[in-house]
Amino acid sequence: MEVKYAKTKGLTDKPLTYCPGCTHGIVHKLVAEALDELGLLGEAVGIASVGCSVFSYEFFNCDMQQAPHGRACAEATGIKRVRPDLTVFTYQGDGDLASIGIAETIHAANRGENITVIFINNAIYGMTGGQMAPTTLIGQRTTTSQGGRTLAQHGNPIKISEIFAQIEGVAYLERVATFNPKQVLNAKKAIKKAFTYQKEKRGFTMIEVLSTCPVNWGMTPIDALEWVKTSMTPIYPLGLFKDKGDFHE
Amino acid sequence: MPKGKTTFAYEKCKGCLLCVAVCPQKILYQDMTTLNRAGYNIIKVSEPDKCIGCAFCAIMCPDSVITVGVEK
């Protein structure tokens, strides 16, 4: 009997603190597998953000640092500039990256900082109790948009990948999802590519992962995956947004 | 058909049923009579002989509960 799939060395044995069926766990696994398979575990530094993923420093089996809310890219910049030999990544949700931390993230991208950003987009603030996020869809009910988000009052959901694709310093940018095994494997390929680009000093790399929040969406985990497929992907189309060659050299 | 074998780290299972939903052989089910220490009903295999070792369940498991082996 040959082992085809087992828990990766890139994760610690601590049980994840996420709700049942939350795809944070899947993305954690993918990042850890990618680092392990590329042999980068010993030299990786992750930056944990604020949000549900605030404890991710407990789960990744590499060096981790916890950033103040939204400042993960600023911290990653500092670490990468002092130790350019390390592989530096941030793991941020939509509240952290698209809301409070959008300035840090956009400027890090514009400077072409040689870091990798894993951006989890689940269209809601998970940790604080399901409030409306900048990425919440029109019509989506949250605790702060109880009649559903409206265009007149709240504006359109922000499309981070579309915005970042225009920025010169971005070397690689792809939007992926985790709603079925095929998409999960695709996401892993994208994450691996981002880390490879960072090793080749090509510039800023970002992977946006459409994720679920079953508890705050008020759905079962299976319905939540279906909702990503049917409601989120038309607004946030999957695919490659940017793939640029060498930037620094 | 290749033959597979799944093993579960039951104590980490949160009973989210993502593995049950993606299993192409439909051989996974939630055992409503067995709880783990965290209080979740755990997942079991109804017909282990039918497992083809595709590892879809393990790929979708957010808590890395499942290990899949394949007979060569």
Question: What band does B72 get if pLDDT is binned at 50, 70 and 90?
Answer: confident
With 0-12 CB in 10 A as exposed, 13-18 as middle and 19+ as buried, what is A93? buried
Q: What percent of chain A has pLDDT over 70?
A: 98
CA-closest candidate to residue A84, choices A43, A56, A125, A53: A43
Residue A183 · residue A176 · CB < 8 Å: yes
Kindly report, residue by residue over A169-221, the tens digit of the pLDDT: 999 999 999 999 999 999 999 999 999 999 999 999 999 999 999 999 999 99
Q: Closest chain B residue to A222 measured between Cα atoms?
A: B18
Average pLDDT score over chain A: 94
Q: What percent of chain A has pLDDT over 90?
A: 97
Question: What band does A246 get if pLDDT is binned at 50, 70 and 90?
Answer: low
A24-243, CATH topology level: Rossmann fold (3.40.50)
Mean pLDDT of B31-55: 94
3-state secondary structure chain A: CEEEECCCCCECCCCCCCCCCCCHHHHHHHHHHHHHHCCCHHHEEEEECCCHHHHHHHHECCEEEECCCCCHHHHHHHHHHHCCCCEEEEEEEHHHHHHHCHHHHHHHHHCCCCCEEEEEECCCECCCCCECCCCCCCCCCECCECCCCCHHHHCCCCCHHHHHHCCCCEEEEEEEECCCHHHHHHHHHHHHHHHHHHHCCCCEEEEEEECCCHHHHCCCHHHHHHHHHHHHHHHCCCEEEEECCCCCC
The size of chain B, in residues, is 72
Distance, in angstroms, between A228 CA and closest chain B CA? 14
Calculate the alpha carbon distances from A141 to A135, A137, A146, B1, B34 in Å. Answer: 12, 9, 5, 46, 35
Predicted confidence at residue B2, as pLDDT, reads 84
With a cut of 80, say whether residue A248 has pLDDT above it: no
Rg (C-alpha) for chain A, rounded Å, is: 17
- CB–CB contact A5 B62 (8 Å): no
- CB–CB contact B18 A18 (8 Å): no
With a cut of 60, say whether residue A135 has pLDDT above it: yes
Kindly report, residue by residue over A150-174, the tens digit of the pLDDT: 999 999 999 999 999 999 999 999 9
- CB–CB contact A4 B12 (8 Å): no
Considering only CB atoms, which chain B residues are within 8 Å of A18? 62
With a cut of 90, say whether residue A1 has pLDDT above it: no
Structural domain spans, chain A: 24-243
Question: What band does B19 get if pLDDT is binned at 50, 70 and 90?
Answer: very high
Parent domain of B48? 3-71
CA dihedral A108, A110, A111, A114 (to 10 degrees): 60
Predicted confidence at residue A245, as pLDDT, reads 67
Number of domains in chain B: 1
Is residue B37 within 8 angstroms of chain A, CB to CB? Answer: no
With a cut of 80, say whether residue A247 has pLDDT above it: no
Residue that the structure tokens 């010993």 belong to: A42
Rounded distance, CA B51 to CA A89, Å? Answer: 37
Rg (C-alpha) for chain B, rounded Å, is: 12
CA angle A26, A32, A38 (to 5 degrees): 135
Is residue B35 within 8 angstroms of chain A, CB to CB? Answer: no
Question: What band does B1 get if pLDDT is binned at 50, 70 and 90?
Answer: confident
**Residues in Cβ contact with A13 at an 8 Å cutoff, skipping those fewer than 6 apart:** none
Question: What band does A249 get if pLDDT is binned at 50, 70 and 90?
Answer: very low
Considering only CB atoms, which chain B residues are within 8 Å of A7? 9, 64, 67
Considering only CB atoms, which chain B residues are within 8 Å of A177? none
Considering only CB atoms, which chain A residues are within 8 Å of B70? 1-2, 4
So what's the ipTM on this one?
Answer: 0.94
Is residue A180 within 8 angstroms of chain B, CB to CB? Answer: yes
Rounded distance, CA A232 to CA B55, Å? Answer: 26
